Amino acid sequence: MLSVPRASCIDLAESERLEWLETNGIGGYASGTVAGMRSRRYHGLLVAATKPPLGRAVLLSGFDEKITIAGTSYSLSTARYENAVSPEGYKLLKEFRLDPYPIWTFSLGGVEVERRLFMPHGENTVVMSWAVLNGNADTHLELIPMLAFRDHHHLRHETANFPYDYQVDIGTVRFAGSDGFPALNLACNAISIDELGVWYRDFAYTIEKERGFDFTEDVFAPCTFRFDLTKPAVVIASTEKHKFEDAALLEAAEVKRREQIISLAKPKDDIDKQIAAAADQVIVARGTGKTVIAGYHWFDDWGRDTMIALPGLTIDAGRPEVAREILLEYFNYISQGMLPNRFTSGSETPDYNTVDGTLWFFEAIRAYVEATGDLDFIKGDLFLKLVNVIRWHLEGTRYGIRVDDDGLLAAGVPGENLTWMDAKIGDRVITPRLGKAVEIQALWYNALCVMESFAEHFDEDRTRTRFSDLASRAKESFEEKFWNAELDCLYDVINGDTRDASVRPNQIFAVSLFYPIFKGERARAVVDKVEKDLLTPKGLRTLASYDAKYIGKYVGGPVERDSAYHQGTVWAWLIGPFIDAYLRVHADEVDAVRNARKMLSGLEEHLQDTMLGSLSEIFDGDAPHAAKGAAAQAWSIGEFNRVRKKLYP
């Protein structure tokens, strides 16, 4: 359980900043703030995945909620407009908790009312209930549903032809879908339903305003539901058809499922439990397999992010069978030796503009095989597919990806950036890394060593020798070309005679990967340099703060934020590889593990902040390192869990 006390609940700045998230395992979600107001366009009570795991649409934005006790009315809702907050239901909050789903307790003149919300797994459904905990028999609830019916990236504004026709059946109201959106069904135990048909105008979403986007929205209120709270009020909002009596069975099944997920992780403490639940939230179905939503609220599933996050989200969460499903699903999408970079709602064909996503695929497979001993998984056809991936890289594939004469992997064409530092503004690449990027060489060497190991297990001697020779050649060239003697670290990118000496975290992968391309005293120097210039309590900066290109705060509109994305901004996921490298070069020191645990403590504290029970994507480079970007990021969660399991075996 994670609890927010009354003092924080009634502090609007605090309770508006703290968010909650429910997901349904197929890409849909419900999300909002502790205060109850929406601060993002992505907040809503039912954001359905209309083309699982994508096509996410805000169907039910929220409810206007009012409790009447013996003739006195109290609003449970909180709403922000550009110049006012009204109503102010947050002032009545006694507590908010995740137990295991969002629960609000309100104190209304001595009567306590509890609101609960959860999403059942596998369908676009949210279940809500309101119950009097200690109180007056003369208590009633009024709910006014607020409809949006829009893509979750967009905003709704008042229109004369909003499709608000609805049908009322016993215990069910069905709001017709349109423009490709599914119908919304509300099953409830209301004692009456009355037509309303009005617009709620000009809600203001503070985070959208801060991010430089349109930030006001209108939503449509078609009717009013009234409940007698002598028994709990129940609403099931869904694209499926339910009866309100289904709520108890749905809840029991979902609570049991979540308990099983936590149990599989073999938690040693509350942090283990929280991170196991957070990991489950980003794992979703794709077709008959599984994939990973890169981050909530706005990211789709990305190949690179999925492979980096996979060990921590699945293997170290006690769910290796899910890792297997994800790997098998991505095998289906290999094209010209490349793994997809990103799936998008608007295209049937994924994007293939990544050089590192494919190389992380090899490491994810290695981690799965090491954890399970399941070599049969890749024996035969899948092994041959991996051999073919290497062949494509040797001979050349999209975007100039090819092995050069020196055995190192070059990649990129003007106007594109194929590494994880991929921010662009129009056609302008913010962090140009054309040529031979340092982490790509580390990943390439690691992939070759993985394949050498597999070939040895399968008695493929000629293939094993081929991979061994390729790996040796790459390592020799790397050691010769990438050492920056002036700074005692590695160059970030080499392109012909040009060497980029920017001090960035990418060099840490030369030491951190399972098969490190760099060892010895120079590896120790790399770790020391990264620790000194890039390590923060929330992860690694993407650029040393003394660099003229450094941007310490991730603020402003899209142009300003994209300009800062990899120019000093801290990324939480990088704490994983850094701790791996740190433990490797300090292996003989008695304080190494204790020091590494301290490095993780800032993110442990962050689990109680921003998106409650989860980890943010990025943080400001400058102290106090405020959380920014996506509020629940898959590779932040995965790498945190993976390395924490190592530190607390």
Mean pLDDT for the stretch of residues 353-376? 97
pLDDT tens-digit map of 573-590: 999 999 999 999 999 999
Q: 201, 221, 256: which is the final residue of a domain?
A: 256
pLDDT score recorded for residue 209: 96
Find where tokens 């999408």 sit.
333
Overall domain count for the chain: 2
**Dihedral in degrees, nearest 10, Cα atoms 430, 436, 442, 444:** 110
Q: 256, 288, 321: which is the final residue of a domain?
A: 256
Residues 305 and 404 in one domain: yes
**Per-residue burial over 347-360, b = 16 or more CB atoms within 10 Å of its CB, e = otherwise:** eeebebbbbbbbbb
Residues 28 and 95 in one domain: yes
Report angle CA 194, 199, 203 to the nearest 5 degrees.
130
pLDDT score recorded for residue 137: 80
d(CA 180, CA 50): 9
Residue 562: phi and psi, rounded to 5, are -65, -30
Mean pLDDT for the stretch of residues 511-524? 97
pLDDT tens-digit map of 152-191: 999 999 998 886 677 777 788 999 877 789 999 999 999 9
Average pLDDT, the chain: 96
CATH code (residue 237): 2.70.98
Model-level pTM?
Answer: 0.97
Residues 239 and 298 in one domain: no
pLDDT tens-digit map of 436-447: 999 999 999 999
Residues 150 and 173 in one domain: yes
Nearest C-alpha neighbor of 280 from the set 47, 152, 129, 122: 122
pLDDT score recorded for residue 162: 82
Residues 272 and 239 in one domain: no
Report angle CA 40, 38, 30 to the nearest 5 degrees.
85
Residues 202 and 311 in one domain: no
Residues 573 and 617 in one domain: yes
Q: 235, 256, 277: which is the final residue of a domain?
A: 256
Q: Which domain holds residue 279?
A: 265-647
d(CA 405, CA 400): 14
Residues 294 and 224 in one domain: no
Residues 201 and 227 in one domain: yes
Residues 627 and 573 in one domain: yes
Residues 202 and 280 in one domain: no
Residues 337 and 242 in one domain: no
CATH code (residue 564): 1.50.10.10
Mean pLDDT for the stretch of residues 499-505? 98
pLDDT tens-digit map of 114-158: 999 999 999 999 999 999 999 778 999 999 999 999 999 999 999
Amino acid at 275: I
